[in-house]
Structure 1
């Protein structure tokens, strides 16, 4: 179950296909009810971006469509205690329960010929509704937008369906569909344990049953109001349409919601590991992370972007981690570095807008590596091993970060990485929908245009600034690690980590014979690299996300 319901697929299709790329005539403005002049970047305060009349515009008279984004500052951190998942449930009900005049089925049938679409996405600090339609059908489509936002049906049958899907996700899907996503969500649970950032946006197994339809209605009135709203509009629209949109959204609840402060990540004491054991896991999926106080609001973020790209962009094959773990040693499908939350990484190769956060962390993703049981079944020469590749892979990845912290990037490495990054970032906003999303995220962070501003910062950056930022903000001595693995691997891996047992790489004879001597020599160093492991716990899969 994804955050946007399956029938919303036309949004993605429209964003990828029928958009003409913005031309030179495109204009970007930030307006409020009193002025239409551009707003200068402000200090990092997300509250200044939200409120009555706060609008981000991305006009393009040559576009063939109109995109509307309505971003509310609430997110899962605004969920009441004991009803975690309520913000998500409310957003899904708005998007999936029709209006007072039309059922959701009638809406789907009506908008299908227009190739229009809409959906809701909830993250930790914001909830965003996205509507996309060809400009020729805007007048027909807009009453649906208005009805969904101002007069949602909140039908009992729809609520039962939405809640059932939500319960199934927190009970089953997250544990069974992808161990990679599982380890990622488990890392956040560990990093933010005890805070309003801990639970998944969908909630927990115990909290979802507590959510009632009346809760949803009250949450809509209290947390989806005109006072915590940022309006975004892009494409080919008129001033009259924008005025109508602003006037209609001003009819949302007049409540001034009290939004809690974002939970801050816990500080690990040494390397703290949670191993999640489950039956029939085919490998060990690993995610590591440590608190990092830098977000897009800070200029230092540009320096960390270069270091992050050097280690390995999401699903890119040139990074140090990918090269050493996958390309050289064929241990898994890929290994990457992150300096902010990467939404739906299993589905998207480029970062998605709509997930801005004030609490941040540095993380490494080691895609599943083989467990001992599987290796022994494949290769007779490995029949005596007790632990698969997880210990070695973790050591290798953390050693690469350690080397970067201690030695820094060379001038040549810096220049190559920066050149790539400045080109690569231009791919983030290939459609008007993505451009608008990143512009709205920029306002959340107190910036005018994050992508342009980061490009300028990158242009003026030096290798020394990158190396200084890495030393200042990253470390491998204090990190959280989550490993989702088979129950046969859990205890041996725990003991190996606790005792810092040497972890020689387990190659088949055929693979080992083909490796260069320098790789095997480095393997010996990695196998004995000391991790600052202070604590290792084994958690049964059924006991997670409770």
Structure 2
């Protein structure tokens, strides 16, 4: 990786991060508050359930702000869905946010809040469901009855249920397979990695189970899994103590049921490299996502060391990382290649990570954005008529080899210093808005921390390059991985055979591109083409048979 490329990022990122750091911080803690100024950083085992329940509140007071943000995070998520009604938590959350109240229809609510520029919505992940409400402080008193009505007296109207369920069914039947092969490969990887557990299915459910969800199921799920006993209140901005007391009193009127929250599903342990190739008609490339279990989350201090290694390989949609440099910049194979040490929500849409998706089960992953298939290359270049497989095999080998090299050789002191400096500035950009600040504080509580951003910054400040290299050796490996590849049906079988047989995969350049490459790149290509992957199993799956 070019140190100049990393250094070029540091100054602008640091300047923007410094401006974000000047925003008001959380107030001093009480028995029901979290704060952004705590000095505790813990690596002890955590119980996420302890963050939720009666009287649990995260405050972020900003007296100079002109807005108020309310978040209600429930400890449930898709993992509490019944086996025969996967998608029920998602349907319930959508009905609360998309079906109005007993007093107002959803259309009336939208008309009423439009002049206030207020908004609200729901987000469901594997372990939590979060409702977010935001309004200018001048309209808080008018907006709050709607918030209260949605949470305590949702309409659950039949006509709204039909609309919500129809959209949900369309997503699991069509959208997830057709809209983005990149997102498709990510969701398919989780299906494989967590197969047989309550983490396996996408939060929207499956084609087979969504039809069985009824409106009565939704009402029952709301009573039993959206209760005062599994909620964490978050509030930020310019609000009064009286308003907070009112909010707490109203949330206490939620159902008093004590939900039976199951243990989160743990990732399966791959035996060698296990690959599922999903073939579909008219795919323009091969979208690749890899994953291997990793027993470390934000709750552990070692996470800070892995953050540095992860950033070195390649932050999400950043062009300085090792993977991006080798695969995209040098060889022009695709749009980008990145590394992950936790789930990255809506990565196709967001440059920075979103809060609201905390998870106890974790894995290390690589995202190789779509590379060209043989059929496409042959149409473009006469000199490539003899190839059977496109760039997927070579790109996968190159990416895994970079991880392998990092495990074996570690980072240099210079690489470590520059990457850490970038990362300490970059993390502050996560909390540019009041809503993001509050969201990350609430996520912190899930992991048994007070302020993840501040605590990780302190841990980063005290890291050494030896700490990073030791953590990489301890937690990462390349011999046992799950890999999903979404590709064209013309590519599936040749790619399967190439992977199973560890066939050499020379990089397929056009003559013009190859002539302009340095000799050291071509020499590295020869090594990569014969790099052995520990592939033990490759299956081809029809696209129509996924997420069933």
Structure 2 length as normaliser, TM-score?
Answer: 0.94
Q: How far 1:23 moved relative to its partner?
A: 5.7
Q: Does structure 1 residue 27 correspond to structure 2 residue 26?
A: yes
* 1:408-419 → structure 2 map (5 Å cutoff): 408-419=410-421
Give the 3-state SS of the residue equivalent to 2:517 in structure 1.
Answer: coil
- Following superposition, the deviation at residue 38 of structure 1 comes to 9.4
Deviations 1:497-519 (A, max 9, x none): 00000000000000000000000
- What do residues 272-324 of structure 1 show as CA deviations (whole Å, max 9, x unaligned)? 00000000000000000000000000000000000000000000000000000
Alignment RMSD:
1.6
Q: Please state if 1:205 is matched with 2:207.
A: yes
Distance 2:102 2:27 in 1: 35
Maintained 8 Å contact 1:22/1:60 = no
Match of 1:405 among 400, 407, 415: 407
Look up the match of 2:129: 127
Choose from 359, 362, 383 the match for 2:361: 359
Distance 1:92 1:415 in 2: 45
Q: Shift of the alpha carbon at 1:336?
A: 0.1
Question: Is the alpha carbon distance of 1:331 and 1:440 closer, same or farther for their aligned partners in structure 2, counting shifts above 3 Å?
Answer: same
Is this contact kept in 2: 1:41–1:446, CA < 8 A? no
- 1:56-95 aligned within 5 A: 56-95=58-97
Query: After the TM superposition, which residues 185-196 of structure 1 pair with which residues of structure 2 at under 5 Å, given as runs?
Result: 185-196=187-198
Tell me the residue number matched to 1:256.
258
Matches within 5 A, 1:505-516: 505-516=507-518
Pick from 368, 372, 375: which aligns with 1:373?
Answer: 375
Distance 2:392 2:36 in 1: 55
Give the aligned length. 527
What does residue range 394-543 of structure 1 map to in structure 2 within 5 Å? 394-543=396-545
One of 106, 109, 112 as aligned partner of 2:111: 109
Cα distance, 1:379–1:265 mapped onto 2, change above 3 Å: same
**Would you say the 8 A contact 1:283–1:486 is kept in 2?**
yes
Contact 1:232 1:440 in 2 (8 A): yes
The aligned residue for residue 99 of structure 2 is: 97
The answer as to 2:149 corresponding to 1:150 is: no
Give 1:33 deviation, angstroms: 6.4
Change (3 A) 1:427 1:21: closer
2:238 counterpart (236, 239, 247): 236
In structure 1, how many angstroms separate the alpha carbons of the residues matched to 2:270 and 2:290? 11
Q: Map 1:243-282 to 2 at 5 A.
A: 243-282=245-284
2-structure distance, mates of 1:338, 1:455: 18
* Separation in structure 2 between the aligned mates of residue 521 and residue 33 of structure 1, nearest angstrom: 61
- CA offsets 1:374-416 (integer angstroms, 9 cap, x no match): 0000000001100000000000000000000000000000000
CA distance in 2, matches of 1:100, 1:325: 55
Q: CA deviation at 1:465?
A: 0.6
Shift of 1:25: 5.6
> In the TM superposition, what is the alpha-carbon distance from 1:130 to its structure 2 partner?
0.2
Deviations 1:215-274 (A, max 9, x none): 000000000000000000000000000000000000000001110000000000000000
Aligned partner of 1:348 in structure 2 is 350
In 1, Cα distance between equivalents of 2:531 and 2:258: 54
In the alignment, the residues of structure 2 paired with residue 340 and residue 22 of structure 1 have an alpha-carbon distance, to the nearest angstrom, of 24
**Does structure 1 residue 320 correspond to structure 2 residue 322?**
yes
Q: 2:222 aligns with which of 220, 223, 243?
A: 220
Give the conservation status (yes or no) of the 8 Å contact 1:100–1:152: yes
**Quick check: 2:101–2:153 contact (8 Å CA) kept in 1?**
yes
Report the Cα distance in structure 2 between the residues aligned to 1:36 and 1:281, rounded to whole angstroms. 48
TM-superposed CA distance for 1:26, in Å, is 3.9
The whole-number CA distance in structure 2 between the counterparts of 1:381 and 1:353 is: 48
Gap runs ≥5 in structure 2 = 1-18
Counterpart residue number, 1:3: none
Counterpart of 1:8?
A: none
How many angstroms does 1:27 deviate by? Answer: 3.0
Distance in 1 separating the partners of 2:36 and 2:532: 57
Q: Secondary structure at the match of 1:204?
A: coil
Task: Judge conservation of contact 2:27–2:35 (CA < 8 Å) in 1.
Answer: no
- Cα deviation, residue 136, structure 1: 0.3
Aligned partners of 1:118 and 1:130 also within 8 Å:
yes
SS in 2 for 1:27: coil
Aligned counterpart, 1:14: none
Q: CA deviation at 1:34?
A: 11
Contact 2:480–2:534 under 8 Å retained in 1: yes
Contact 2:229 2:257 in 1 (8 A): yes
- Of 20-29 and 174-183, more deviation after overlay is shown by 20-29
Match of 2:309 in 1: 307
Q: TM-score scaled to structure 1, two decimals? A: 0.95
Instruction: State the Cα distance separating 1:41 from its structure 2 match.
Output: 6.6
CA distance in 2, matches of 1:407, 1:68: 47
Matches of 1:352 and 1:477, distance apart in 2: 31
8 Å Cα contact 1:83-1:211 kept in structure 2: yes
Mapped to 2, the partners of 1:37 and 1:456 lie a distance apart of: 13
Check 1:313–1:440 CA distance in 2 against 1; reply closer, same or farther (3 A cut). same
* Contact 1:29 1:58 (C-alpha < 8 Å) held by counterparts: no
2:33–2:57 Cα contact (<8 Å) kept: no
> Structure 1 residues 65 and 382, CA, compared in 2 at 3 Å: closer, same or farther?
same
Is the Cα contact below 8 Å between 1:289 and 1:363 reproduced in 2? yes
CA contact (8 A) 2:20 2:431 kept: no
2:277–2:492 CA contact under 8 A, matched in 1: yes
Structure 1 residue ranges without an equivalent (≥5): 1-19
